[in-house]
């Protein structure tokens, strides 16, 4: 066969695990007794949907108390304000001392401050009242509940009430060795490989079946895991049927680039000498047979991609290799 370069898309198969696209751990933001659970475990919930109701009777009482404080503070503000106006008139007539006016103004300012404090307490109570209704922060599939009605929960506790995961779309974290990544980047910088902007990722599931939906690479981690010497690539896949679940092991076939002038030869034409060097039998311009050392890259179907040792126009012997010898015609 005569060597002819072809445009070849290059792929690599890498291990990976599926991860939820979004995950939210639900915790209470107020302290109280759980009075209701308003969802079905394992079901789908919408953002803003009520999940739990925390008994809010104490919060309601705090709100009423704060409203009463505001009324009292506003009454004091109105009374002290009138006193200040009256004293300012009297001071001009020297009917009262400056100290009396100063005391009246201080009392007025304190009443205003008390009114502001009461308003802040009202706002805080209203916020806590809203927090007593625990709502879903995201849409997704909700896990089992870790508490039941009657349980005491505390604000911002470490233990979660439940967890919500968004599974459509779903992420797959793929692991690639840093050495392999460096080789690919070097090949691209030298012009041997071109980036494929339309590259897609395909998945092989644990049972050997191919996942129906193709994914797209979203990013490559900038840090190398020191313990494994690998980097993480993240791909995103549609998951309308919920077939992929978080934590599943998969094999991802990732497009790493395009070799615009790939040299491919049948695998059976490549032999190895005693040192392990890959060689092929070629025919020169004088029709003489010679042994040519070559460098093989990855296998593509039943062919090797050759990165060194052959060039376009070279003639490679593909059949009857046992019958030819170097130097023969």
Domain with CATH 2.40.420.20 in the chain: 262-323
Residue 182: pLDDT band with limits 50, 70, 90: confident
What is the C-alpha to C-alpha distance for residues 145 and 41, in angstroms, rounded to an integer?
A: 7
Beta bridge partners of 173: 17, 234
What is the C-alpha to C-alpha distance for residues 65 and 68, in angstroms, rounded to an integer?
A: 5
Residue 273: pLDDT band with limits 50, 70, 90: confident
* Choices 2.40.50.100, 3.90.1300.10, 1.25.40.420, 3.30.390.30: CATH for 28-54+132-159: 2.40.50.100
Q: What is the 3-state secondary structure (H, E, C) of 110-128?
A: HHHHHHHHHHHHHHHHHHH
Q: Which residue is it, tokens 């050997």?
A: 208
Superfamily of domain 56-131: Helix hairpin bin (1.10.287.470)
Kindly report the average pLDDT of the chain as a whole number: 88
Domain with CATH 1.10.287.470 in the chain: 56-131
Q: What is the three-class DSSP state of 125?
A: helix
Mean pLDDT, residues 165-183 taken together: 85
Mean pLDDT, residues 26-45 taken together: 95
Strand-by-strand arrangement of the 32-37 sheet: 133-135, 50-54, 32-37, 152-153
Domain range 8-20+165-260, CATH architecture: Beta Barrel (2.40)
| 125-154 residue pLDDT tens | 999 999 999 999 999 999 999 999 999 999
Question: What are the angstrom distances between the C-alpha of 119 and each of 126, 172, 225?
Answer: 11, 49, 52
Domain with CATH 2.40.30.170 in the chain: 8-20+165-260
Mean pLDDT, residues 9-21 taken together: 89
Per the confidence metrics, is the pTM higher than 0.75? no
- CATH class belonging to 262-323: mainly beta
What is the C-alpha to C-alpha distance for residues 303 and 201, in angstroms, rounded to an integer?
A: 22
Q: What is the three-class DSSP state of 80?
A: helix
| 58-112 residue pLDDT tens | 999 999 999 999 999 999 989 998 888 888 888 777 778 888 888 888 998 999 9
What is the C-alpha to C-alpha distance for residues 69 and 57, in angstroms, rounded to an integer?
A: 18
| 213-267 residue pLDDT tens | 999 888 777 778 777 888 888 889 999 999 999 999 999 988 877 888 888 888 8
Side-chain half-sphere exposure of 80, counting CA atoms within 13 A? 22
pLDDT value at residue 303: 87
Q: What is the 3-state secondary structure (H, E, C) of 21-40?
A: EEEEEECCCCCEEEEEECCC
| 216-226 residue pLDDT tens | 888 777 778 77
Pair 250, 211: CB distance under 8 Å: yes
Helix%, strand%, coil% for the chain, nearest 5: 25, 40, 35
Pair 318, 328: CB distance under 8 Å: no
């Amino acid at each position: 066969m005569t060597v002819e370069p072809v445009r070849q898309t290059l792929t690599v198969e890498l291990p990976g695990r599926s991860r939820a696209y979004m995950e939210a751990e639900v915790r209470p933001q107020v302290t109280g007794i759980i009075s209701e659970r308003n969802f079905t475990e394992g079901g789908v919930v919408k953002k803003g949907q009520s999940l739990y109701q925390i008994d809010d009777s104490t919060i309601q009482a705090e709100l009423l108390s704060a409203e009463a404080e505001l009324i009292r503070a506003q009454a004091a503000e109105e009374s002290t304000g009138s006193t200040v106006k009256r004293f300012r008139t009297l001071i001009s007539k020297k009917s009262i001392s400056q100290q009396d006016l100063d005391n009246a103004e201080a009392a007025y300012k304190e009443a205003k401050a008390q009114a502001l404090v009461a308003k802040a307490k009202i706002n805080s109570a209203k916020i806590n009242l809203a927090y007593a209704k625990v709502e879903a922060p995201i849409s997704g599939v909700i896990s089992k509940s870790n508490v039941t009605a009657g349980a005491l929960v505390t604000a911002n506790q470490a233990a979660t009430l439940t967890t919500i995961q968004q599974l459509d779309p779903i992420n797959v974290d793929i692991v690639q060795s840093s050495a392999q990544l460096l080789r690919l980047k070097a090949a691209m910088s030298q012009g041997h490989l071109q980036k494929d902007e339309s590259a897609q990722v395909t998945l092989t599931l644990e049972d050997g079946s191919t996942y129906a939906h193709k994914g797209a690479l979203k990013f490559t981690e900038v840090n190398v895991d020191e313990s494994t010497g690998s980097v993480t690539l993240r791909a995103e896949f549609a998951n309308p049927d919920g077939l992929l679940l978080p934590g599943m092991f998969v094999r991802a076939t990732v497009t790493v680039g395009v070799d615009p002038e790939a040299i491919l030869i049948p695998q059976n034409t490549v032999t190895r000498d005693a040192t392990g060097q890959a060689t092929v039998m070629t025919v020169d311009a004088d029709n003489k047979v010679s042994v040519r050392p070559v460098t093989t890259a990855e296998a593509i179907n039943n062919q090797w991609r050759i990165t060194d040792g052959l060039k376009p126009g070279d003639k490679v012997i593909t059949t009857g290799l046992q019958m030819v010898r170097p130097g023969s015609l």
